[in-house]
Amino acid sequence: MKKPFISFTSDFGVQSQGVGVMEGVARSICPDAHIIHLMHGLPDFDIITGARTLETVNWLPIGYHVCVIDPGVGSKRRCLAIKTKRGDYLIGPANGVLIPASRVLGGIVKVVEITNSQYMRELISPIFHGRDIFAPIAAWLAKGTAIEELGPEINLKELIPPPYDEAILSGKEITARVISINKFGSFHLNILSSLWDKLGMQLNEVVELALPNEKIRLMFVKTFSDVIVNDPLIMKDDYGRMEVAINQGHFISKHPLGVGDKIIVRKIEK
Amino acid sequence: MKKPFISFTSDFGVQSQGVGVMEGVARSICPDAHIIHLMHGLPDFDIITGARTLETVNWLPIGYHVCVIDPGVGSKRRCLAIKTKRGDYLIGPANGVLIPASRVLGGIVKVVEITNSQYMRELISPIFHGRDIFAPIAAWLAKGTAIEELGPEINLKELIPPPYDEAILSGKEITARVISINKFGSFHLNILSSLWDKLGMQLNEVVELALPNEKIRLMFVKTFSDVIVNDPLIMKDDYGRMEVAINQGHFISKHPLGVGDKIIVRKIEK
Amino acid sequence: MKKPFISFTSDFGVQSQGVGVMEGVARSICPDAHIIHLMHGLPDFDIITGARTLETVNWLPIGYHVCVIDPGVGSKRRCLAIKTKRGDYLIGPANGVLIPASRVLGGIVKVVEITNSQYMRELISPIFHGRDIFAPIAAWLAKGTAIEELGPEINLKELIPPPYDEAILSGKEITARVISINKFGSFHLNILSSLWDKLGMQLNEVVELALPNEKIRLMFVKTFSDVIVNDPLIMKDDYGRMEVAINQGHFISKHPLGVGDKIIVRKIEK
């Protein structure tokens, strides 16, 4: 029989025992699961970058994916379990962080609010839902517990919206947002490469990028080295969205930008 | 049959192959074990924070827990294997770092000094006992080797004391120590929440905290957001001890403190 | 039946979902494998340090070892699978990074260029070969695919040379290179301890070290504490090579050096 697959994503960083403790709690309940850590180095409380990272679970086996980016822990925000079309379950706080991943997994089949304390650990503190609620819920689902057991169904319309929407194409222009910045100072946009294709750009054509405080021009290429060193570029990133970078350089330190900033991409008329 | 469970904790950080090598060595000896990493981002040689982190193994399945915080490696300090009441084994250097965890696991049943080289790797260097002694010992114990095989029993009185004792309640006052500081600048005290309860504080009552160089007052609350932004607070942390923080702020940069510092908590008479 | 063993090494760091995604992709193809992460905190694009780290796979079970230190990704560099004498397979870019590990595993039995797209994921981007080529190839090999299936054999003479050779002993002198610097500011040399032994040094004898800009003298000892605090030393490191350090100090900040620098060690005549 195939073993269930559980993944964890959080902003706990490397100086927290929380990662190991969540894995241990899940392992106690579901000893046979394969458990992996997608990423725990997310910026603190950054639900935009967190949501974009969680999108990459579509590269993992179908499984039970826990995300703990949870600025509202301790407040009254709800806890969710989402069943998706591909067959995965997403488990985490009801702050929108799970929604973009549910889209790449084919959409939401069912959402419940987690209220059944029978599937939680005893709550010794109001501040570590990753260990006391999300990890145990993932493990119980992995063991075969039905999502309906966890709590009442929630109407899709009641869900808190995702921290970013998909970029919008209008004529020759895409209105987009920065959804993550990587360690090389490059950034990723909420533009799916399939949306980009509708802009009708050929490789090596130039676009204009309206950043918050300036406009720049850059070439649409296949990879970094297709432009000369220190030149900016836009390309399809390695997870199906668009990335802006400088070949062998650091875009963000030259053009300061933050996650969430609005960017407009314009095709230049010849 | 249930698979044995092994955990690793160290100060190796993320720039060391040591973590993977220890796991590989354990896996070679005991291929079936579940192996997890509790935390490897501990401050270098910090046995106080290390001991407090290792306490959290009580959230993991019963298993074989290796801790390598080992400022004395290369010197003549001994190597220990401890059997605890809950059924876990703790393996690491004889510098006190294992003792607080043995308490939360119900106390020590037996301690031996690891001397039987049959269960070690050949020592090619005197400086990596994690790989050459502790990881193999955990794996051999996980395979069913009796602790008595590893070396001579040690009398509890001969053990090096833990790097912190439990805080002491005297009348309206608790004398405590800082046992860890987290990435948000909050700190944790060696006060068990059960000891705190004996102080007779109600939620939202105020206590005085005597820090090394100043006295401050703060409220005892359930979670961060129970005080206004930038106000300090004391609460039960997520592992059964007391935590001091500033709501949405960084306590340590406002009130410089280090791990090991003495703190006195006083109930204020009305 | 024994489960196959897969390891991953990279410069992805802790702020990348790439690590988890590679593991997930391998797990999808070969659900039964044991998968471990040797180290992902390698300096960006540093193939010298990467190669030295990968040498430590000889402490892991025989397995399928992926290394993604890949400054040339996106360019036309080739992808390799190497079968070694010990029985391990090394998978990664053809930039030399795999060669030192192949030596410690007994030498190369066969090398192929990976060209058979049947064993790759569909390439959605030219920049993440770890996920799209190396992880799947490791998993297919682990499942029993023959290396000959992956692509054409390469002649050993066509291989890009390793980023460092073994140090050379000539009379009383060893000409060496720095192959890694650790977080304590100590550095490791491409001198095998077996080569060192041929220099005929006794413990506590002094050698001269010609650094790029100065000459210093230091003692050959067994471990740090064999010299007084703040004194430099040379000793056998914990992976079979030589290490230079300062007891309780930081060598590199006192004597600036980089990975790749040439160092000459001279035995002093009495």
Residue A133 in 3-state DSSP?
Answer: helix
Contact A40 C14 (CB under 8 A): yes
Residue B8 in 3-state DSSP?
Answer: strand
Q: Within the 121-140 window of chain A, which residues sit less than 8 Å (CB to CB) from chain B?
A: 124-128, 131
Q: Is residue A163 part of a domain?
A: no
Mutation for testing the C interface, residue in A60, A229, A250 having most C CBs under 10 Å: A60
Q: Is residue C120 part of a domain?
A: yes
Pairs of CB atoms within 8 A across B/C:
80
Q: What distance in Å separates the CA atoms of residue B209 and residue B264, rounded to the nearest whole number?
A: 6
User: What angle do the packed helices B135-142 and B18-29 form, to 10 degrees?
Assistant: 30
The enclosing domain of A198 has a CATH number of: 2.40.30.90
B203 contacts chain A (CB < 8 A): no
Q: State the nearest Cα–Cα gap between B170 and chain C, in angstroms.
A: 40
pLDDT at position A270 is 67
User: Which chain B residue shows the shortest CA-CA distance from C248?
Assistant: B71
Q: Is residue C163 part of a domain?
A: no
- Binning pLDDT at 50, 70 and 90, where does residue C270 land? low
Q: State the nearest Cα–Cα gap between A35 and chain C, in angstroms.
A: 10
Domain boundary among C139, C158, C177: C158
Contact C87, C56 (CB under 8 A): no
Residues of B in contact with C53 (CB under 8 A): 17
Q: Which two tokens stand for residue A151?
A: 């709590």
Q: Is residue B229 part of a domain?
A: yes
Residues of A in contact with B41 (CB under 8 A): 13-16
Could you tell me if C174 and C132 lie in one domain? Answer: no
C32 contacts chain B (CB < 8 A): no
Domain boundary among B99, B134, B158: B158
Could you tell me if C114 and C148 lie in one domain? Answer: yes
Average pLDDT over residues A102-115: 97
Could you tell me if C145 and C205 lie in one domain? Answer: no
Q: Which amino acid is at A125?
A: S
Residues of C in contact with A35 (CB under 8 A): none
B42 contacts chain C (CB < 8 A): no
A76 contacts chain B (CB < 8 A): no
Burial class (CB within 10 angstroms; exposed 0-12, middle 13-18, buried 19+) of A205: middle
Pairs of CB atoms within 8 A across A/B:
82
pLDDT at position A122 is 84
Q: Is residue B163 part of a domain?
A: no
Which DSSP category does A162 fall into? P
The enclosing domain of A139 has a CATH number of: 3.40.50.10790
Average pLDDT for runs of 10 along chain B of length 270: 93 93 97 96 96 97 97 86 98 98 98 97 84 97 98 96 97 97 96 96 96 96 93 95 95 96 91
Q: State the nearest Cα–Cα gap between C9 and chain A, in angstroms.
A: 15
- Binning pLDDT at 50, 70 and 90, where does residue C72 land? confident
Mutation for testing the C interface, residue in A238, A247, A259 having most C CBs under 10 Å: A238
**Helix or strand holding residue C138 (H, E):** helix C135-142
Average pLDDT over residues C80-104: 98
pLDDT of C230-255, one tens digit each?
999 999 999 999 999 999 899 999 99
Q: State the nearest Cα–Cα gap between C139 and chain A, in angstroms.
A: 14
Beta pairing class for B262-267 and B232-236: unpaired
Q: Is the pLDDT of residue C269 over 70?
A: yes
The total number of structural domains in chain B stands at 2
Mutation for testing the C interface, residue in A12, A39, A180, A250 having most C CBs under 10 Å: A39
Contact C252, C180 (CB under 8 A): no
From the centroid of its chain, how far is CA B97? 7
Mutation for testing the A interface, residue in C11, C17, C68 having most A CBs under 10 Å: C17
Q: Is residue C172 part of a domain?
A: yes
* ipTM of model: 0.95
Q: Is residue A209 part of a domain?
A: yes
- Binning pLDDT at 50, 70 and 90, where does residue A68 land? very high
Residues of A in contact with B40 (CB under 8 A): 14
Residue C183 in 3-state DSSP?
Answer: coil
Residue of C213, C223, C217 lying closest to C243 (CA atoms) = C223
Average pLDDT over residues A8-20: 94
Residues of A in contact with B61 (CB under 8 A): 24, 27-28, 31
Could you tell me if A187 and A218 lie in one domain? Answer: yes
C70 contacts chain A (CB < 8 A): no
pLDDT of A136-193, one tens digit each?
999 999 999 999 999 999 999 999 999 999 999 999 999 999 999 999 999 999 999 9
As a residue count, chain A comes to 270
pLDDT at position C103 is 96
Could you tell me if B44 and B135 lie in one domain? Answer: yes
Q: State the nearest Cα–Cα gap between C239 and chain B, in angstroms.
A: 8
Q: Which chains touch B (3 or more CB pairs under 8 A)?
A: A, C
Residues of C in contact with A34 (CB under 8 A): 27, 31
Could you tell me if B183 and B131 lie in one domain? Answer: no
B15 contacts chain C (CB < 8 A): yes
Could you tell me if C124 and C210 lie in one domain? Answer: no
Q: Which of B13, B40, B61 is opposite residue A28, by nearest beta carbon?
A: B61
Domain boundary among A158, A186, A211: A158
pLDDT of C149-206, one tens digit each?
999 999 999 999 999 999 999 999 999 999 999 999 999 999 999 999 999 999 999 9
Q: Is residue B100 part of a domain?
A: yes
Q: Is the pLDDT of residue A17 over 90?
A: yes
Contact B67, B97 (CB under 8 A): yes
Q: Which amino acid is at A195?
A: L
Contact A98, A82 (CB under 8 A): yes
Could you tell me if C154 and C212 lie in one domain? Answer: no
Contact A60 C24 (CB under 8 A): yes
A152 contacts chain B (CB < 8 A): no
Could you tell me if C89 and C12 lie in one domain? Answer: yes
Could you tell me if C147 and C188 lie in one domain? Answer: no
From the centroid of its chain, how far is CA A187? 14
A87 contacts chain B (CB < 8 A): no
Q: Which two tokens stand for residue C209?
A: 């070290």
Could you tell me if B257 and B195 lie in one domain? Answer: yes
pLDDT of A231-264, one tens digit each?
999 999 999 999 999 998 999 999 999 999 999 9
Q: Is the pLDDT of residue A75 over 80?
A: no
Distance, first Cα to last Cα, chain A: 59
The C-alpha angle with vertex C62 and arms to C150 and C166, in degrees rounded to 5, equals 90
Contact B15 C56 (CB under 8 A): no
- Binning pLDDT at 50, 70 and 90, where does residue A1 land? low
Q: Residue B188 sits in which domain range?
A: 168-267
pLDDT at position B68 is 97
Could you tell me if C132 and C245 lie in one domain? Answer: no
pLDDT at position B270 is 67
Residue B125 in 3-state DSSP?
Answer: coil
Q: Which chains touch A (3 or more CB pairs under 8 A)?
A: B, C
**Helix or strand holding residue B112 (H, E):** strand B108-113
